[in-house]
Chain A
Amino acid sequence: MKALGLTVYSGEKGLDRRVSGGYVSDLLSDVMGNADEGQVWVTLQTHKNVMAIASLKDLAAVILVSGHKPDVNTAHQSEEEAIPVLGTHLSAFDVTGKMYELIKK
């Protein structure tokens, strides 16, 4: 997380979750169908349904890209579920590229 320079918006309790990989998508229906447990989800969607899906799929964390911030009830649910919502000013392409390099090591 430090290596990527991410901001922690909410769900700090869940920062020790194990990361198995990542998934990049802004269609929640797609994430619901195709993301796997333990993945970090990179998106620009900030709606509270993001957390419902992160919880359903047991994702490790959500990274909001391009400076997007979570809606109030999104942050609230992230606290409750202990699934962190993180943020970056980088685009999805850039943050995913960096993360891919880290995970490959």
Chain B
Amino acid sequence: MNSYRADLHVHTVLSPCGDLEMSPANIVEAAARNNIDILGITDHNSTRHGALIKKLAKKKGIYVLCGAEVTTKEEIHCLTFFENNDKLVTFQKYLEEHLSDVKNKPEAFGYQVVLDENEMIVGHVDKLLVSALDQTIDEVEAAVHALGGLFIPAHIDRPSFSLFSQLGFVPAGLQADALELSKPATPEQMVKQFPGLKGYTFIRSSDAHHPMQLGSGITIFEMKRRSFAEIKKALQGVGGRRVSSKW
């Protein structure tokens, strides 16, 4: 088994709240500086910077999980990841179809720009990316899993936009591949306090909106190699693979 450092929750400049410094090239630099082996790209309700960052990161030997941080109808943030570009593109269409039709007001929310590898602006997204989909958490989970993707409710213990804040507790039978914790509470403490969390795998990530924050939350993956299938198995704890974090 090998050990890999992962930060699976990183925003780019495409997210209106993402700092202008969060260009694909800068993100890859920051990830390399922090010895990140596996990087998750999760803009709000968009996957559009994933492929470029994957390409740039490859040159630095960093494995990229492409996906998005989806806002469900209940306003719960959930991380989603997909195995290949075809699936990512299919999910991007789902996002565009279901995101509410509210226009971004850049002066209020920030710019939503798509960059190329030379940091030139090649597109703007008009719809406000921080608004919600018209899909329930169960519908989003089903759509992600239909594409063989990973579904991880984000910062579930945060007082806003989280499973706990919006729905009070983890719904019975929720099919999550893992749950992301934001507080410095250990999984053991969390399970003791909220017995409904028993049996879930926990990850920790940075939720970086600025290059300085990248790597401030790390999950260690112990598995054979870096691949989507191995990551899935590590989250399931299959065959001695596991994930852990310094809490």
Contacts and interface: CB of A to CB of B under 8 A. Distances in A.
Interface of A: 26-29, 31-32, 45-49, 52-53, 71
Contact of A47 (B137, B164, B165): B137
B136 interface: yes
Given A45-B74, A47-B74, A32 B136 contact: no
A99 to B, nearest CB: 23
6 contacts: A29-B165, A31-B168, A47-B136, A47-B137, A47-B167, A52-B169
A29 B136 contact: no
Contacts of A29: 159, 164-168
A48 B171 CA distance: 8
Nearest to B165: A29
A52 B136 contact: no
A49 B167 contact: yes
Interface in B164-213: 164-169, 171
Contacts of B136: 46-47, 71
Interface string B131-166: 000001110000000000000000000010000111
Contacts of B167: 28-29, 45, 47, 49
Given A27-B165, A27-B166, A53-B168, 10 more contacts: A29-B159, A29-B168, A45-B74, A46-B136, A47-B167, A47-B171, A48-B171, A49-B168, A52-B169, A71-B138
A53 B164 CA distance: 12
A31 B138 CA distance: 21
- Of B137, B164, B168, most buried by chain A (CB within 10 Å of CB) is B168
Contacts of A28: 165-168
B128 to A, nearest CB: 19
* Highest count of chain B CB atoms <10 Å: which of A26, A28, A53, A71: A28
**Which of B136, B138, B165, B166 has most A Cβ within 10 Å?**
B166
Contacts of B164: 29
A26 B161 CA distance: 12
A27 B137 CA distance: 15
Nearest to A32: B168
Contacts of B168: 28-29, 31-32, 49, 52-53
Contact of B171 (A27, A32, A49): A49
A47 B159 CA distance: 19
